[in-house]
Chain A
Amino acid sequence: MKRLWRWLRALFHGAALDRELSDEIRLHVELETEDLIRTKGLAPEEARRQALVAFGGVERYREAQRDARGVRWLEESLGDLGYALRVLLKSPGYTVPAVLVLGLGIGATTAVFSGVETVLGHLPYPKDDQLVRIYEQNSPTNRWWLSVADFQGIVANTHTLSAVGAGRFGTVPVSAGGEPQSVTAASVTSGFTHALGVRPAFGRALEPSDDAMGAPRVALVSDGFARRTLGGGARALGQTIMIDGQAHTVVGVWAQDMDRLAGIRPEVWPALQLKLPTRRGPFGLLVIGRLADGVTLDAARRDLAGVSQQLLPLWTDFQDRNARLTPYSLRETILGDGARTMGVFAAAVLLVLLIAVANVAGLTLVRATGRWRELSLRAALGATRARLVRLVMMESVALAAAGAAVGLALGVVSLKLLVTLGPNVPRLDQAQLDGRAISFALLVSFVAGIAVGAYPLLLLVRHDPGASLAGGERTVGGGRRSNALRGAFVVGEFALALPLLAVAGLLLNSFLRLQQVPPGFDGDRVATVSVSLPAGRYPDGVAAFWSRLLPSIDQVGAVEAIGLGDALPPIAGQTFNQNNFDLIDHPVGDGASQPVSDWITVTRGYFATLKIPLLDGRLFMPGDTGVAPVVVVSRAWANHYFPGEHAVGRQFIEGGCTSCPRSTIIGVVGDVRYDGLHAPGEAMYAPMEEGRWEWGVHLFVRGWVTGPDALAAVRGAVLAADPGVSLDNPQTMAEVVNESITEPRHVMTLLAGFAVAALALAAVGIFGLLSYTVAARRREIGVRMALGADGQAVVAMIVGRGLWHAGLGAGLGLIVALVGTRWLAATLFGVSPTDPVTLALVTLALLAVALAACWLPARRAALVDPVEALRSEA
C-alpha cells in the first residue's frame, strides 16, 4: 500500500522528487567542497572540482535514481505518448481525417451495440429464462391468444408451471375525479405479476383474493400515472379511480423503471376477475407462466399438450384437434422480429467500421513509409528497436484514444438518433450508453488502433532501421509491396461498401413499392379518432350511444359520412378481432383446424365513409342486426375461399358455435389492407350495431376540414352525446397510412445513412490512394509526357488504375451481396433479394462515385509540367 503510494508519488510528482534530489546533491557537493577546503587547504575552485569528480556523473546518477523509483518505463512511455501527440498534432492532414473516420466507425458501432445489447439482453425479471408466454397453436404459422377456459384449464391442471397469469389489454376511459382520459389498461390476474416476480414500489401486489368474482375492485398504477393524476407514489394508495366506469381502489404503485411488464406498457393495472366461461372461446387473453425450477420448455410443452387434450371434450364449440396450448420463451415472443432487424443493423455497422479501419490503415501506411527515415535516424542515434516499437505504438494508442473520445461523443448522439429514428423494436427505447457500452467502445478502439498501427510495426519487425540508414536506403515499404497492400485496402473498402449499398437499395426499392400499394380505401378528407366508452354504461350494445351521437355530429356541419370500426387500417399488429369459421359448402371436417380471418366490426356508414367499393351483393341494412347474423367479405377473402364462384349467399358457422344460427355472406367489398400494406387484405365484416361495444373503437368522419378546429368540434359533439366518453389520437387517414410505413421508412433511412457513410469512406480511400500514386509517380508521368503522351492518356491511365481497384472491389462485393441479401427476404416487399436491377444500379452508383474520386488526382497528374518534374528529381 505504502509502496503503491510512493510509486504513484514518483509517477505524478517526478519533478518535485527531481528537485529534492538536486537539493540533496547540491548540499552533498557543497559540504564536500567545504570539507576539502578545511582539511586539505585547497582553493575553493579546485575543491569544488574534486568534489564533483568524487561524486561521479550527476546526470547518470539521477537516471539511476529514477530507475530506482521504478517508474522509468512509464515516464518514458508518457514521454513517447506526448511526442506522439505532438507529431499527430503537427500533421493535421493525417490526424483529423483519421480520428474523425475512426470516431465515426466507433460511435456508430457503439450505438448499435447498446441497442442490440438492450434489445437482445435479459428481461428485467429474476430468472427470466423461466418465463414463458402461452399460445394456442394449430399449425407452425398460426398461433393465437388464449380463452378464459384455456387459462382456467391450465391453472387447474399444470404441473410444470409454478405460476400462471392472464391479462387483457385496451384503451379505456379512466378518471380520478376530473374529465376521463383515454388510458392504456392491463387487467391482469394476480398470477401475472407473481410469475414475473416483481413487486410494486408502494403498496402491495395483486393477491389471489383480488381475482375472485365479486371481490372489491383494486388496481395498481404506473409511477407516471400516480404522479400525473394522483399526486405522487405514496399518496396514490387508497385513492379511488374510475376505470372503464367502475370504481377501483389503488393498492399499489409500480416503480419508475418498471413502466412495462412482459413487453406491454399500460398506465393502470386493474385486477382481472374472470367469469366462469360458457364456451371455449373467445380467445382474447395474454397468458404468461413461470416454469417450475428444473423444468425444461419441452416438458412444459408436453404438459400443456396434455391440458389441451383434457379441455377438448369439455367444449363442443371448439373442436380443433390440432390446437395445442404451446409455451414460448417470453423473451423471444417480446423480441419478435426485432432480432432480425437488429441483426441487419449490426451487420451494416460492422461493415462501416471495417471500411473506416481499412481507410485509416491505408492512410497510416503512407505515413509509415514517409516516416521510415525518421525512425532510421533515431535508430542510428541509439534508440533501441523496442523503444521505436513503443514510439510507433504510442501513436496508434493516441490515435485510437482520440478516436474513442470522438466515438463516444458521437455514440451518444447516434444512439439518440437510433432510438428516435430507429425501428419500432421492443425495448430499444431503453438503450443507453452504459458502462458495458463504454467498455465495448474502448475495446473496439483498442482493436482498431492495433489494426491501424499494424503495418508500421510490421515494418519495424521485418527491417532493421539502423541498418537502413547505413545502407543508404531512403524508404522502406514505399515500393511495390506497400502499394499493393494499399490497393488491397481500397479493393476491400469497395467490396464492403457494395453489400451495404445493395441492402439500402433493396430496402429503398421495397419501400417505394410499398408506398404505391393502394390501401383499399379513399382516405382523402377523412379524419379519425379513437373513442372509448365506459363498458358498463351500454350493456345492450352501442345503438343507444350511436343514435345520440349521429345527430350530434351532423350538427357540426360539412359532414358527408360517419362510420365506426374496431380496426384502423392499414396499421399492422393491432389487436382487432380474428375469428374462426367453418364454411357449410367446404367444411373442414371433425377435429380439423378451421380457417381464421380478420373480423372487423363496423357500422353501416363505415364503407361509405372510407369509400370501400361494393363489388357484389349488398351492404348492411338496419334490419340486419339482431336476427340471423350476416357478414360482408373482402374480394381477397372471396377469391381465397370461393375461387371462381359466387360468395354471396354462402353460409358458415361462426366461431365454432354449432348451436348458433348460421351466418350468411351478403356482400363482397374491395380489399382493405388491415394487416399493413404488404398483407393481402382478407377480411370479414360484421355489423357493429349487432355486436358488443369493443374497447378502443375508431370513429371515421368524411368531409371535415381537418385541423384543431375540427377536433374541437368532434370533441364537443361526442361529449355532448355522452360526457363519460374519452377521445384519443386524432389523425387524418393520410397520416395513418404514412404511420403504417414508419417502420420500413426508418429502417431504410438508417441503412441508407450507413450506405452513404460507406460510400463516402470508400471514395476517400480511393482518392487518397490515387493522390499518393500521382505524387509518387510524378517523375514517371513527366517522362511519359516528355515522350509525347498527352494529358488525356495520363488521365486515362490514373482513372483506369483507380477503376480497376474499384471494379475488383465491387465485383467481390457483388458476390458477398448475392449471398448476404438472402437474409433480407422476409423484410422485403415485392423485390427479390437478388433483384438484378437494384444490384446493377448500386454497382453503377458505386463505380460512378469511384470515377469522380479518381478524376481529381488524374487531373492533377495531367497538369504535371514534364520539365519541372524531371528537373526536381534529377
Chain B
Amino acid sequence: MAERADLLQGTLDLLILKALVIGPLHGWGISKRLRQLSDAVLEVGQGSLYPALYRLEDKGWVRAQWGTSPEGRRAKFYNLTKDGRKQFAAERSEWRLFSAAVEQILEAT
C-alpha cells in the first residue's frame, strides 16, 4: 500500500470543490477522484467526506441531486454552484499563498 498523508484541517473543502470543478460526481466518485488525482497519497475518510458535503451544501456551494450513475444506479450527485466556483477560486489562491509561505519557511536556511 502506498504511503498516505493526513489531510490538513480545512483543506478537505478545497479538495472536494476541486474534484467537482470538472463535473458532477456522487460521493464515492469524489473519493475515487481525489485518490486518483493524488496518486493514492490522499485518502479521504468517508466519515469526514459526507459531513463535509453536507456542510458545503448547507453553505450553498454545492447542490445535491438524485440521478442515475454511469453504473446504472440511483445515486446522489453533487454539483458545484456559482457560489461554489467563486469559493473554489478564492480558496485556491488562499491555499497557494499559504503553501508558498510554508514552503518558504521550510526552505529557509
A interface residue numbers (CB < 8 A to B) = 2-3, 6, 20-21, 23-25, 27-28, 30-32, 34-35, 54-57, 60-61, 64-65, 67-69
Instruction: Name 26 A/B residue pairs within 8 A (Cβ), A-sorted.
Output: A6-B58, A23-B76, A24-B26, A24-B50, A27-B27, A27-B28, A27-B75, A27-B76, A28-B46, A30-B73, A31-B28, A31-B71, A31-B73, A32-B28, A34-B71, A55-B47, A56-B47, A61-B46, A61-B51, A64-B47, A65-B51, A65-B54, A67-B51, A68-B51, A68-B55, A69-B54
Min distance, Cβ A189 to any Cβ of chain B, angstroms:
69
Assembly CA distance A159 to B66 (angstroms) = 80
Assembly CA distance A61 to B50 (angstroms) = 8
Which residue of A2, A3, A60 contacts B47 across the interface (Cβ within 8 Å)?
A60
Assembly CA distance A2 to B83 (angstroms) = 15
Given A2-B60, A56-B45, are A35 and B32 also a contact pair (CB < 8 Å)?
yes
Contact A28 B54 (CB under 8 A): no
Contact A55 B46 (CB under 8 A): yes
Contact A64 B58 (CB under 8 A): no
Residues of A within 8 Å of B45, CB to CB, are: 56
Which residue of B26, B46, B71, B74 contacts A56 across the interface (Cβ within 8 Å)?
B46
Contact A27 B58 (CB under 8 A): no
Assembly CA distance A57 to B76 (angstroms) = 21
Min distance, Cβ A390 to any Cβ of chain B, angstroms:
25
Residues of B within 8 Å of A67, CB to CB, are: 51
Residues of B within 8 Å of A68, CB to CB, are: 51, 54-55, 58
Residues of B within 8 Å of A34, CB to CB, are: 71
User: Which of A2, A3, A28, A57 has the most chain B CB atoms closer than 10 A to its own CB?
Assistant: A28
Q: Given contacts A23-B74, A28-B46, A55-B47, list 10 more A-B pairs with CB under 8 A.
A: A2-B60, A24-B50, A24-B76, A28-B31, A31-B28, A31-B71, A60-B47, A64-B47, A67-B51, A68-B55
Residues of B within 8 Å of A56, CB to CB, are: 45-47
Please, what's the 1-or-0 string for B42-77, where 1 marks a CB less than 8 Å from any CB in chain A?
000111001100110010100000000101011110
Min distance, Cβ B70 to any Cβ of chain A, angstroms:
11
Sort A-B residue pairs by CB-CB distance and give the 7 closest, nearest first.
Answer: A56-B47, A31-B28, A28-B28, A55-B46, A68-B51, A61-B47, A68-B54
Residues of B within 8 Å of A64, CB to CB, are: 47, 51
Residues of A within 8 Å of B74, CB to CB, are: 23, 27
Look across to chain A and name the residue whose beta carbon is closest to the beta carbon of B31: A28
Look across to chain B and name the residue whose beta carbon is closest to the beta carbon of A70: B58
Assembly CA distance A706 to B34 (angstroms) = 103
Look across to chain B and name the residue whose beta carbon is closest to the beta carbon of A35: B32
Look across to chain A and name the residue whose beta carbon is closest to the beta carbon of B30: A28
Residues of A within 8 Å of B73, CB to CB, are: 27, 30-31
Residues of A within 8 Å of B75, CB to CB, are: 24, 27
Residues of B within 8 Å of A55, CB to CB, are: 46-47
Min distance, Cβ A97 to any Cβ of chain B, angstroms:
47
Min distance, Cβ A335 to any Cβ of chain B, angstroms:
58
Contact B46 A24 (CB under 8 A): no
Q: Main SS of chain B's interface residues? A: helix
Residues of A within 8 Å of B54, CB to CB, are: 65, 68-69
Look across to chain A and name the residue whose beta carbon is closest to the beta carbon of B76: A24
Min distance, Cβ A523 to any Cβ of chain B, angstroms:
83
Contact B27 A57 (CB under 8 A): no
Assembly CA distance A3 to B60 (angstroms) = 9
User: Which of A2, A6, A32, A61 has the most chain B CB atoms closer than 10 A to its own CB?
Assistant: A61
Please, what's the 1-or-0 string for B4-27, where 1 marks a CB less than 8 Å from any CB in chain A?
000000000000000000000011
Contact B26 A27 (CB under 8 A): yes
Assembly CA distance A69 to B58 (angstroms) = 9
Contact A24 B51 (CB under 8 A): no
Assembly CA distance A677 to B46 (angstroms) = 90
Contact B58 A3 (CB under 8 A): yes
Residues of B within 8 Å of A27, CB to CB, are: 26-28, 69, 73-76
Please, what's the 1-or-0 string for B65-94, where 1 marks a CB less than 8 Å from any CB in chain A?
000010101111000000000000000000
Contact B76 A20 (CB under 8 A): yes
Contact A24 B47 (CB under 8 A): no
Assembly CA distance A24 to B47 (angstroms) = 13
Residues of B within 8 Å of A57, CB to CB, are: 47
Residues of A within 8 Å of B51, CB to CB, are: 61, 64-65, 67-68
Assembly CA distance A191 to B47 (angstroms) = 80
Min distance, Cβ A17 to any Cβ of chain B, angstroms:
10
Min distance, Cβ B26 to any Cβ of chain A, angstroms:
7
Residues of A within 8 Å of B28, CB to CB, are: 27-28, 31-32
Assembly CA distance A24 to B54 (angstroms) = 12
User: Which of B46, B51, B73 has the most chain A CB atoms closer than 10 A to its own CB?
Assistant: B46
Contact A54 B46 (CB under 8 A): yes
Residues of A within 8 Å of B46, CB to CB, are: 28, 54-56, 61
Look across to chain B and name the residue whose beta carbon is closest to the beta carbon of A55: B46
Min distance, Cβ A254 to any Cβ of chain B, angstroms:
57
Residues of B within 8 Å of A2, CB to CB, are: 60
Min distance, Cβ B92 to any Cβ of chain A, angstroms:
24
Look across to chain A and name the residue whose beta carbon is closest to the beta carbon of B43: A54
Residues of B within 8 Å of A60, CB to CB, are: 47
Residues of B within 8 Å of A23, CB to CB, are: 74, 76
User: Which of A2, A27, A30, A69 has the most chain B CB atoms closer than 10 A to its own CB?
Assistant: A27
Residues of B within 8 Å of A54, CB to CB, are: 46
Assembly CA distance A32 to B44 (angstroms) = 13
Assembly CA distance A64 to B69 (angstroms) = 26
Min distance, Cβ A264 to any Cβ of chain B, angstroms:
64
Min distance, Cβ B58 to any Cβ of chain A, angstroms:
7
Within 8 A of A (CB), among B87-108: none
Assembly CA distance A35 to B55 (angstroms) = 27
Min distance, Cβ A56 to any Cβ of chain B, angstroms:
4
Residues of A within 8 Å of B27, CB to CB, are: 24, 27-28
Min distance, Cβ B54 to any Cβ of chain A, angstroms:
5
Look across to chain B and name the residue whose beta carbon is closest to the beta carbon of A34: B71
Residues of A within 8 Å of B55, CB to CB, are: 68
Min distance, Cβ A457 to any Cβ of chain B, angstroms:
35
Assembly CA distance A539 to B27 (angstroms) = 103
Assembly CA distance A24 to B55 (angstroms) = 16
Residues of A within 8 Å of B69, CB to CB, are: 27
User: Which of B45, B50, B60 has the most chain A CB atoms closer than 10 A to its own CB?
Assistant: B50
Assembly CA distance A27 to B28 (angstroms) = 8
Min distance, Cβ A8 to any Cβ of chain B, angstroms:
13
Look across to chain B and name the residue whose beta carbon is closest to the beta carbon of A30: B73
Look across to chain A and name the residue whose beta carbon is closest to the beta carbon of B29: A31
Min distance, Cβ B80 to any Cβ of chain A, angstroms:
17
Look across to chain A and name the residue whose beta carbon is closest to the beta carbon of B51: A68
Min distance, Cβ A489 to any Cβ of chain B, angstroms:
50
Look across to chain B and name the residue whose beta carbon is closest to the beta carbon of A69: B54
Look across to chain A and name the residue whose beta carbon is closest to the beta carbon of B54: A68
Residues of B within 8 Å of A20, CB to CB, are: 76
Assembly CA distance A67 to B50 (angstroms) = 12
Assembly CA distance A64 to B45 (angstroms) = 13
Look across to chain A and name the residue whose beta carbon is closest to the beta carbon of B55: A68
Min distance, Cβ A71 to any Cβ of chain B, angstroms:
12
Assembly CA distance A20 to B73 (angstroms) = 14
Look across to chain A and name the residue whose beta carbon is closest to the beta carbon of B26: A27
User: Which of B27, B28, B32, B55 has the most chain A CB atoms closer than 10 A to its own CB?
Assistant: B28
Residues of B within 8 Å of A3, CB to CB, are: 58
Which residue of A6, A35, A65 contacts B50 across the interface (Cβ within 8 Å)?
A65
Assembly CA distance A464 to B49 (angstroms) = 39
Assembly CA distance A56 to B60 (angstroms) = 27
Min distance, Cβ B44 to any Cβ of chain A, angstroms:
10
Assembly CA distance A643 to B26 (angstroms) = 110
Residues of B within 8 Å of A69, CB to CB, are: 54
Residues of B within 8 Å of A65, CB to CB, are: 50-51, 54
Residues of A within 8 Å of B31, CB to CB, are: 28
Min distance, Cβ A408 to any Cβ of chain B, angstroms:
39
Min distance, Cβ B34 to any Cβ of chain A, angstroms:
14
Assembly CA distance A32 to B76 (angstroms) = 16
Min distance, Cβ A29 to any Cβ of chain B, angstroms:
9
Assembly CA distance A21 to B46 (angstroms) = 13
Residues of A within 8 Å of B47, CB to CB, are: 55-57, 60-61, 64
